[in-house]
Structure 1
Amino acid sequence: MYPCKVTVKKGAARSFKSGGAWIYDNEVERIEGDFTNGDLVTVLDFDGYPLGNGFLNMHSKLRVRMMTRHAEQQIDEAFLRQRLLDAVRLRKQVIDTSACRLVFGEADFLPGLTVDKFGDVLVLESLALGMDRMKETVLRLLLEVLSGEGLPIRGVYERSDAKERLKEGMERHKGFLSAPFDTKVEIRENGVRYLVDVAEGQKTGFFLDQKLNRRAIQRFAPGARVLDCFTHTGSFALNAGLAGAREVLGVDASALGVAQATENAALNGLSARVRFETADVFELLPKLEAAKERFELVILDPPAFTKSRETIKRAVKGYRDINLRGMKLVRDGGFLATCSCSHFMDQELFARTLQEAARGARKRLRQVYFSTQAPDHPILWAAGETYYLKFFIFQVLDEK
């Protein structure tokens, strides 16, 4: 046990006791012992029963992020090495590790830590104060583990520049954690080549969670006219193009993303059939509908419309509107691929929203595919924040 003890209220910590990863600020009864924010502490139930160890941060609503449910277990280098080894070996079992997420925070029992691998480069993101204080040790151990597993690394870049760090009382930061290297890194996924900008791209530079869903849309692309909305760096569009789509238009509001997507199209020899345009999708779709444009495959991969429970109603409207517009652009018998990446928009609510959109568009949906995030982003049951991506493919039919 650790010297500082955090006791939870009677009847509290239900989420944690059900398998979750956090103790919330309003669940804490008292704190006994000296501490500095980010210190490891032992958490006790209201009756003194030890619940485990984690790190404490008074700046955060996630008051204690739990590292272990065994209070006698010390969080030392041996502990961290085993956690990292377990995470790496899981990825070797479930996914192509040439480009994958090696560490997925709470789902790997390393709260607040994300590590993505792009070829022989790592991108690290630290969003929790306690983990941030362990960062150098964790990185050293991870590099040793990867070398031992036959996955040597030549460079590491940190992308701890998300706003979530401010909630933890930390400043945003990014930069090299190794000798400098060219931050445009080439990877290959599903046969598609990409240049990933680990320094300036969104989040860690590339959304690895859609890997298997990108592969899934390939079967619907041959000979199709395809519209890929919120294309980011062109990943769905390029998968469609590589699979034989006759024409692909990718759209994104980010000029940087569109420039990267255009570069990726050239890298794959697809510039003649796959083009990209900078536009607001919400403004473009009504224009395409008015012009009576139709597509055999429409892909909607928007950013999370909600990051809190308080904004769910507004998010539902956004998802309903964008999907209604998308459905109207699908030729009868064509396909709509659509997703939500917000864990607050749960599967049941998302499905209900899609059904409402279909009624509004006077379309019938025939589901042919459903998936979540790729398995290198494992879902820890009872830790709802680890389940966030819901991905459907529907055949869209006119009313009959």
Structure 2
Amino acid sequence: MGRVVLHKDRKRRLEQGSPWIFRSEVARVEGDPAPGDVVEVVNHQGHFLARGYINPRSQILVRVLTYRVDEPIDASWAARRVDEALAWRERFLPGVPSCRLIYGEADFLPGLIVDRFENILVVQVLALGMERLWPWIRQALVDRLNPRGILLRNDVPVRGKEGLPLDVREDFGEVPERVWIEENGLRLAVDVWRGQKTGYFFDQRENRLAIAPLVSGARVLDVFTHTGAFALHALKFGAEHVVCVDQSREALDLARENVEANGYAGRAEFVEANAFDELRALVDQGRQFDVVILDPPAFAKSRSSLPGAIRGYKEINLRGMKLVRDGGFLVTASCSWHMHRDLFLDTIAEAAVDARKILRLIELRGAAKDHPVIHGSEESNYLKFAMFEVRSRG
């Protein structure tokens, strides 16, 4: 087994819980490990710290699989990790049949995402080392869950950086074109083959419940609606009418189907448009809503894209505030981990100044419990979700 020796004067990120070891932290690599091989990680004195898989092509040289010197990486290790992930969901989400089952580094399975849609598992294998370990993990999942099918959504660009092909294919059993799930008493159709990421965003499950006090009898604008999950919850909690905006016709068709399936037809309308353009148009028209919901995709996918992302978040929030009636509510989110919480709040505050609004914070939240956060790994603490009362400044 190869060995990675860390610099003496490095920051102690690994000891603080970070599962990533960057090449800048490494003094030398001993042996001749191939990309994807499991290696030992030691400090400058040779003391064991962790074991993980290596990929010299990546700036993240090693991703940690275990911190125990007596835990080999084998089929038994894979079974234990799956059991631990299942136990977490059973403890904090008892009886929930659809959720994020494995959340990569936060479940000590770096580079692996597994979402459970009833009896269908949708998987993203994001790294070369995990690609080699996947057969053991797949067997553990099959043994414990007996799924109808497992779909690999390995169409993620980051795989190309790992030297891996991009594809979408059944890896076990049969996976239908569309899967129906239940969330918070609502039925939703999910396009697991072509939808964004794995087809659905479980991270906002508990945040969708949090809007209940805001929406009774309200006229709601839901921007970046995707397949309508926030809109559905607003309707469930008594919204009078919801306008759903998204630039994807396929997503809007699914949102319309979900609204109709839950008996809310006639209380929602669907607008196929670029969100920035539609927000500007609605402001120009003088439209007003009781609640505006902004749940955009990640604007900052890298540190270099952060300045543009800040401008984007400021614009949508500024225009969203202008569309909220005096005393109404703004619900806004960011899933860009580069956009850390304080920067997100500062950007919203700047938008409020320009919009001549005063904001009163109701609640600031993160991701659902099936997206645990590792202390010391800010990457796993990516979601910011805020609810504000919006008042005019004159």
Bin the TM-score by the shorter chain.
over 0.9
Q: What's the offset of the Cα at 1:14?
A: 2.7
Residue 20 of structure 1 pairs with residue 14 of structure 2:
no
Q: Which residue of 2 aligns with 1:266?
A: 260
| Superposed CA RMSD | 1.2
* 2:49 aligns with one of 37, 48, 51: 51
Tell me the equivalent position of 2:289. 295
CA distance, structure 1, for counterparts of residue 70 and residue 58 of structure 2: 25
Matched residue, 1:378: 372
Rounded Cα–Cα distance in structure 1 between residues aligned with 2:332 and 2:207: 10
Q: Once the 2 structures are TM-superposed, how far is the Cα of residue 85 of structure 1 from its aligned partner? A: 0.5
Question: Could you list the runs of 5+ residues in structure 1 that have no partner in the other structure?
Answer: 147-151
Alpha-carbon distance, 1:13 to partner: 5.5
- Matched with 2:137 is 138
Give the corresponding residue for 2:6: 8
The verdict on how the C-alpha distance between 1:299 and 1:380 changes in structure 2, with shifts beyond 3 A counting, is: same
1:56-135 aligned at under 5 Å gives the runs 56-95=54-93, 96-135=95-134
Deviates more, 1:330-339 or 1:17-26: 17-26
Alignment of 1:170-185 (within 5 A): 170-185=164-179
Answer whether contact 2:120 2:175 (CA < 8 A) is retained. Answer: no
Q: What does residue range 154-303 of structure 1 map to in structure 2 within 5 Å?
A: 154-303=148-297
Structure 2 residue identity aligned to 1:36: A
- For 1:395, the equivalent position in structure 2 comes to 389
1:46 and 1:262 map into 2 onto residues whose CA distance is 59
- Paired position in structure 1 for 2:40: 42
CA contact (8 A) 1:81 1:145 kept: no
| Cα offset, 1:117, TM superposition | 0.5
**1:149 matched residue in structure 2:** none
Asked if structure 2 preserves the Cα contact closer than 8 Å seen for 1:13 and 1:24, the reply is no
CA contact (8 A) 1:13 1:23 kept: no
The offset of 1:219, in angstroms, is 2.4
- Of residues 321, 344, 369, the one that matches 1:350 is 344
Q: What is the TM-score with the length of structure 1 in the denominator?
A: 0.96
**Structure 2 residue 331 is the aligned partner of structure 1 residue 337:** yes
Q: Residues 238 and 274 of structure 1 are in contact (CA less than 8 Å); yes or no, is this contact kept in structure 2? A: no
**CA–CA separation in structure 1 for the residues paired with 2:106 and 2:308:** 29
Aligned to 2:27: 29
Gaps of 5+ in 2: none
Deviation at residue 330 of structure 1 after TM alignment = 0.2
1:276 Cα deviation (Å)? 1.3
Q: Residue 3 of structure 2 contacts residue 30 of structure 2 at CA under 8 Å; is this kept in 1?
A: yes
1:267 deviation in Å? Answer: 1.2
- Is the CA contact (8 Å cut-off) linking 2:295 and 2:334 kept in structure 1? yes
Q: Give the distance between the partners of 1:315 and 1:50, measured in 2 at CA.
A: 40
Tell me how far 1:12 sits from its aligned partner. Answer: 2.4
Displacement of 1:141 in angstroms is 0.7
Contact 1:53-1:66 at 8 Å conserved across structures: yes
Supply the distance in 1 between the matched residues of 2:313 and 2:191 (Cα, whole angstroms). 29
Alpha-carbon offset, residue 183 of structure 1: 2.7
How far did 1:233 drift? 0.6
Q: Kindly state the Cα deviation for residue 63 of structure 1 after the two structures are TM-superposed.
A: 0.6
Q: Distance in 1 between matches of 2:11 and 2:48?
A: 12
Give, in whole Å, the separation in 2 of the partners of 1:181 and 1:40: 32
TM-score of the aligned structures, taking structure 2 as reference length: 0.97
Asked if the contact 2:148/2:174 (under 8 Å) is kept, the reply is no
CA distance in 2, matches of 1:303, 1:76: 36
CA distance in 1, matches of 2:10, 2:155: 33
SS class of match (1:15): coil
User: What is the alpha-carbon distance in structure 1 between the residues aligned to residue 115 and residue 319 of structure 2?
Assistant: 34
Q: Distance in 2 between matches of 1:297 and 1:165?
A: 39
**Size of the alignment, in residue pairs?**
393
Quick one: distance in 2 between partners of 1:13 and 1:39? 25
Residue identity in the other structure for 2:83: L
Quick check: 1:364 aligned with 2:358? yes
